[in-house]
Structure 1
C-alpha cells in the first residue's frame, strides 16, 4: 500500500508557482495553483538539460493541459503525467499530490 507523505504547510508554497522539496532523498517540484486550489508534483530533474530546475519553470496550459515550461530549453511537461509535449518518449516522474487540511502531501510510489 502506498502512503501519503507529509511534505509541508500550504503556506510554505508560492501561489501559482513552483518550489523544490527533498522528499525521501528525491528532488520533487511542487506546484501550487490557486484556481483551482490544487497541488501537482513531478520530478525536479530536467532530462534535456541534466539539471534539477523544473520547480523554477513557468506554469500554464497547452491545449487545456496543465504544464510547466523548463527554464533551460523551454520543453513543456504535463503536470499530471510528466510527459513532455515536444517529445512524448520523454517523461519525468509525476506523483499524486493533495492538500489535506493545511498540509501538502504526496505519494512517491513503492
Structure 2
C-alpha cells in the first residue's frame, strides 16, 4: 500500500482503474476501514464512501445498486434499499437516517487513490 500525505488528507493507492466494474463498486481496505469505491462510466466519475450501511450496520454498500435519483448519483444498500447520495453521503430515502462518510477520489496513470483524514 502506498500513501501520499498532505496537511489534511492522506491519499492511498486503492487499486487500478481496471479493477473496478463498469457502473459498479468494489470494497477496498485502508487500515481498519472498509471503503466502497464506485465508477460511473457515463459521466466518467469516481466516488468513495464508507462500506458500512448505517441502517443495519452491515458491510454491504460496495455491492449496492448504483444509479441516479433526480440527477444525483446514488447507491442503494443491497439488503435494505436505503439510498444514499454518492456526492455528500446524505440519505435520499429518509431525511432522518444517518449519512455516509464520503472520501475524495483521484486518478493518476490508471491508478485510483482515495483520500482519508490524515491521522
TM-score normalised by the chain length of structure 1: 0.93
Aligned-residue RMSD, C-alpha: 1.1
Structure 2 match to 1:95: 103
Rg larger in structure: 2
CA contact (8 A) 1:38 1:98 kept: no
- Counterpart CA distance in 1 for 2:11 and 2:52 is 22
Structure 1 residue 107 displacement after superposition: 0.5
**TM superposition outliers: structure 1 runs of 4+ over 3 Å:** none
Structure 2 gap ranges (5+) = 1-6
The number of equivalent residue pairs is 110
TM-score normalised by the chain length of structure 2: 0.87
Structure 1 residue 28 displacement after superposition: 0.2
